[in-house]
Amino acid sequence: MSKVTIRRKKITSNRQSLYLDYYPPIANPLTNKLQRYEYLKLFVYHEPVNKIERKHNKETNQLVEWIRLKRQLDVQSNRFGFLSESNRGGNFLNFFKKYTSKRQKTDSDNMGMAFRYFESFISNGLKTCDLNESICEGFRSYLLSRPGISLREKPITRNTASNYFAKFRSALKEAFSKGLLTEDLYSLVKPIKINETHRERLEIEELQKLISTPLKPEMMRRAAIFSALTGLRFSDVKALKWSQLRGSPGKYHLQYSQQKTLVAEYMPISDDAARLMGTRKDDDEVIFKSLNYSSIRIFLLRWLKKASINKDITFHCFRHTYATLQLEFGTDLYTVSKMLGHKHIKTTQVYGKIVDRKKNQTINKIKVNLGKLNMID
C-alpha cells in the first residue's frame, strides 16, 4: 500500500520547508509521469525562539498532518485530483498552446490558428480556474464577428469560425478530463453550426484530363492522382511508408493509422493506385517524399491552368472527387463511409446530397413526343 510521509528540507532564516513523500510514487494524470514529491509551500521554524514562532509551528504542523491524512485517503482510493490544484491557477493560454502544438501534425493543420484567435480574444492571459461559460460564449461571439487577424486581415468565414471553436472546445474537454477545470465547459458551450457549402470536385472527364496533362514535379502529380483513387487525406498521403503497402496485384491494400484520428485502417486499393506509388523501396522510407502543402497548392494552380480546368481545386478536393465518383458509380454510402475512414455515416451523407442533385438534373433528359395520347382512362 502507498504511504504518504511528511518531509522537511532546510531553507533560509532558520526555517524548514514541508513537503509530502509518496512511496511508491503515484502517476500524475497531467504529465503521465510518476511523481513522488508534493511541495506544499509551507514552512516551520527549525528552532522557534518566541511564542509567535511556536504558535506558527503548531498550527502549520496540524494543517500539514490534515493534508497528509487526506492525501493518504485519496491515494488509497486512486483519486489524484489534488495534483491538478496548483495547475488550475496557471495560464490557460499556456495549456491551450501546448495542447495545439501536440496535435498540429501537418503544415496544413489549422490547430495553431485556433490558438492565435483565442490569444487575440483574451489579450492579457487567463487563469485556468477563472475560465467559465461566459468567457467561452464570448469567444464564440468573437469568432462569429468574423475577425481578421492574419497579415492580410481577411475576415474568416462562419465555417472557419466553427472549425476554430471546435478545436477550442476539444481543449476544454482535455482540461476537464485532466482535472484543470472543475466544470465540463465542453458540454455547456454549444458548437458553431456550419453552413452547407459546395464541395468542389472533379468530374471523371476532368480527372482524366488532369491525368493526361504532364507537369513536373512528377511526384506531386502522382500524389494528387493517388488521393483521387484512394480518398486519402493530404496528411495520410504525406506520411505513407512502404511498410504500409501489403498484398499483390489485384489484392493490394494499405494498413495505416489516420493522421487526423489516429484510427487504424485497412484499405483495399486498386492496381492503378499501387502503380502510382512507384518502385518499392525500404519499408521505413516515405513513398511521396518532400511533399508539403504550400508547394502543392502552387503546383495545382499551374496544373489546372495547363489542363484548362477552371475550378478552385485544392488537394482535399481529390478526396471529395473519390467519394462522389464512388457513389455515382454505384458504391453504397456505408461502404464509401468506411473507405473514407469516417466515424459517423452522417459525415459521408454530404456527398450523397451532391449525387442526389446530379440525379435531379437527369429527370428531363429522356424526352418523347406524347402527341395526342389519351390521358383519360
Q: What is the pLDDT of residue 105?
A: 55
Q: What is the pLDDT of residue 341?
A: 85
The residue from 123, 155, 188 where one domain ends is: 188
Higher pLDDT pick, 194 / 158: 158
If asked whether residues 126 and 143 sit together in one domain, one would say yes
pLDDT at 205 over 90: yes
Q: What is the pLDDT of residue 101?
A: 82
Mean of pLDDT values over 161-182: 90
Q: Say if 123 falls within a structural domain.
A: yes
Secondary structure element (H or E) that encloses residue 22, with its range: strand 15-27
Burial annotation 205-221 (CB, 10 A radius, 16+ → b, else e): ebbeebbeeebeeebbb
If asked whether residues 225 and 352 sit together in one domain, one would say yes
CA-nearest of 122, 169, 128 to 149 is: 122
Helices assigned H by DSSP within the chain: 51-76, 82-88, 92-103, 111-122, 133-144, 158-177, 185-188, 204-211, 218-230, 234-239, 271-276, 293-306, 316-328, 333-340, 345-360
Distance CA 105, CA 102 (A): 8
If asked whether residues 349 and 208 sit together in one domain, one would say yes
The three grid cell numbers given for residue 332, joined into one nine-digit string? 453504397
Q: What is the largest CA-CA distance in the chain?
A: 119
Q: Say if 234 falls within a structural domain.
A: yes
For residue 298, the domain's CATH number is 1.10.443.10
If asked whether residues 97 and 159 sit together in one domain, one would say yes
Taking only the tens place, the pLDDT of each residue in 67-97 is 999 888 888 877 666 666 666 667 888 889 8
If asked whether residues 48 and 31 sit together in one domain, one would say yes
Distance CA 159, CA 320 (A): 17
If asked whether residues 80 and 181 sit together in one domain, one would say no
Taking only the tens place, the pLDDT of each residue in 238-288 is 999 999 999 999 999 999 887 766 677 888 999 999 999 999 999 999 999
Backbone dihedral region for residue 247 (phi beyond 0: left; psi -120 to 50: alpha; all else: beta): left
Taking only the tens place, the pLDDT of each residue in 323-367 is 989 988 888 888 888 888 887 787 788 777 666 655 555 555 555
Q: Say if 375 falls within a structural domain.
A: no
Lowest mean pLDDT among 100-104, 208-212, 239-243: 100-104
pLDDT at 297 over 60: yes
Q: Say if 288 falls within a structural domain.
A: yes
If asked whether residues 312 and 218 sit together in one domain, one would say yes
Distance CA 137, CA 67 (A): 37
The residue from 164, 188, 212 where one domain ends is: 188
Q: Say if 194 falls within a structural domain.
A: no
Q: By residue range, what is the domain housing residue 184? A: 92-188
CA 266 to chain centre: 21
Q: What is the pLDDT of residue 107?
A: 41
Q: Say if 377 falls within a structural domain.
A: no
β-bridge mates for residue 45, sequence order: 15
Cβ proximity of 193 and 162 under 8 Å? yes
Q: Mean pLDDT for the chain? A: 85
Q: What CA–CA distances, in Å, run from 313 to 199, 302, 319?
A: 10, 11, 11
Distance CA 328, CA 308 (A): 24
Lowest mean pLDDT among 62-71, 158-167, 172-181: 172-181
Q: What is the pLDDT of residue 197?
A: 65
pTM tops 0.75, yes or no: no
Q: Which residues contact 136 (CB under 8 A, 6 or more apart)?
A: 168, 172, 185, 188, 189
CA-nearest of 85, 79, 66, 51 to 18 is: 66
The residue from 86, 117, 140 where one domain ends is: 86
Q: Which residue has the cell 453504397?
A: 332
Q: What is the pLDDT of residue 80?
A: 67
Q: What CA–CA distances, in Å, run from 328 to 211, 273, 332?
A: 20, 19, 9
If asked whether residues 345 and 236 sit together in one domain, one would say yes
Q: Say if 13 falls within a structural domain.
A: yes
Q: How does strand 15-27 pair with strand 34-45?
A: antiparallel
Q: Say if 368 falls within a structural domain.
A: no
If asked whether residues 233 and 318 sit together in one domain, one would say yes
Q: What is the dihedral of CA 303, 306, 307, 308, to 10 degrees?
A: 120
Q: How far apart are the first and last CA of the chain?
A: 91
HSE-CB at 157 with a 13 A cutoff on CA atoms is 8
If asked whether residues 231 and 296 sit together in one domain, one would say yes
Taking only the tens place, the pLDDT of each residue in 129-138 is 889 999 999 9
Q: What CA–CA distances, in Å, run from 63 to 39, 70, 145?
A: 14, 11, 50
Residue 355 burial (CB count, 10 A): 16
Lowest mean pLDDT among 46-50, 188-192, 288-292: 288-292
Number of domains observed in the structure of the chain: 3
If asked whether residues 19 and 99 sit together in one domain, one would say no
Q: What is the pLDDT of residue 137?
A: 93
Lowest mean pLDDT among 81-85, 150-154, 315-319: 81-85
β-bridge mates for residue 34, sequence order: 27
pLDDT at 108 over 50: no
If asked whether residues 258 and 232 sit together in one domain, one would say yes
